Amino acid sequence: MSIDLTGKTALITGASRGIGEAASRILAGYGANVVLAARSTGDTARIAAEIGGQALAVTCDVARYADVDTAVKKAVEQFGSLDILVNNAGVIDPIARLAESDPEAWGQIVDINFKGVYHGLRAAIPVMKKNGSGVIINMSSGAATGALEGWSHYCATKAGVLSLTRCAHVENAADNIRVVGLSPGTVATSMQRSIRDSGVNPVSQLDWARHITPEWVGEAIAWLSTDAARGHDGGDFSLRTEEARRAVGLID
């Protein structure tokens, strides 16, 4: 499958490791300029340097709208446009049952996982509308439509993200701005290690070999950025099926 993102600029949140890092490297490999956003630039600066001149690391706490708006502005200033936004930043710690949860920590998850996606949408949509097109990919999860012990914060925020995806699609499809969710399944990242260490609910018991690589998710993000994926706009594209993996080009 041929993917060409030459001349496109992508902003990826949570880009310091895992899915965000993989997506940054893969999108750059397909020709895109990439802006790596994370709360600190310790890792993203190194990754950007390894990618080269088509990459920029920016400090961005997605829980703060001003930070996200600044990241969007820096992308436009550096590369001339913003064509792709990947709302990837998300956390799951601390995992806890509702009756034992820390209200402040629970609220912080909402600020990152849910409000962070809203902040990305709010900052990027006016820029993309002015440009006449754009693609926004929101990282989703099977947790958006399920209930898992200890994951009330994660399930609730991912359900909210799914609703944001649908609303943003309804409001912006006519302006050629594509909004789509990506539900990758379980991925071999540090988040999955936290889940395993918690020992709570069946997901923590999964064999590590069952988790897909961040690179597979990065390839799915690249594919969703193309017109070939338009049929999934406004919904969640699940990477858990053979049909989806074949569409992305991960399997024959």
Mean of pLDDT values over 128-133: 97
Whose tokens are 């009330």? That residue is 152
User: Could you write out the three-class secondary structure of the chain?
Assistant: CCCCCCCCEEEEECCCCHHHHHHHHHHHHCCCEEEEEECCCHHHHHHHHHHCCCEEEEECCCCCHHHHHHHHHHHHHHHCCCCEEEECCCCCCCCCCHHHCCHHHHHHHHHHHHHHHHHHHHHHHHHHHHHCCEEEEEECCHHHCCCCCCCHHHHHHHHHHHHHHHHHHHHHHHHCEEEEEEECCCECCHHHHHHHHHCCCHHHHCCHHHCECHHHHHHHHHHHCCHHHHHHCCCEEECCCHHHHHHHCCCC
Does residue 148 register a pLDDT over 70? yes
Nearest to 151 by CA among 122, 191, 117: 191
Domain boundaries defined on the chain: 9-185+214-247
pLDDT (0 to 100) of residue 242? 94
Query: In the structure, what pLDDT confidence band is assigned to residue 1 with cuts at 50, 70 and 90?
Result: low
Query: In the structure, what pLDDT confidence band is assigned to residue 213 with cuts at 50, 70 and 90?
Result: very high
Q: Which residues sit opposite 33 in a β-bridge?
A: 9
| Annotation marks residue 154 as catalytic | yes
pLDDT (0 to 100) of residue 204? 83
Does residue 186 register a pLDDT over 80? no
The pLDDT tens digits of the residues spanning 71-103 come to 999 999 999 999 999 999 999 889 999 999 999
pLDDT (0 to 100) of residue 105? 96
* pLDDT above 70 coverage of the chain, percent: 100
How many residues in the chain?
252
Residues 6 or more apart in contact with residue 89 via CB below 8 angstroms: 13, 14, 20, 37, 38, 62, 112, 116
pLDDT mean across residues, the chain = 94
Does residue 161 register a pLDDT over 80? yes
Cβ count near 79 (within 10 Å): 21
**Which sign, positive or negative, has the C-alpha torsion 182, 184, 185, 190?**
negative
Residues 6 or more apart in contact with residue 142 via CB below 8 angstroms: 183, 185, 238, 240
Q: What is the largest CA-CA distance in the chain?
A: 50
Does residue 209 register a pLDDT over 80? no
Mean of pLDDT values over 155-183: 97
Residue of 30, 65, 118, 154 marked active site: 154
Does residue 18 register a pLDDT over 70? yes
CATH of domain 9-185+214-247: 3.40.50.720
Structure tokens at 78: 């550096």
Cβ(56)–Cβ(84) below 8 Å: no
The pLDDT tens digits of the residues spanning 22-36 come to 999 999 999 999 999
Lowest mean pLDDT among 145-154, 161-170, 180-189, 231-240: 180-189
Does residue 180 register a pLDDT over 70? yes
Mean of pLDDT values over 108-132: 97
Does residue 188 register a pLDDT over 90? no
Nearest to 196 by CA among 185, 188, 207, 204: 204
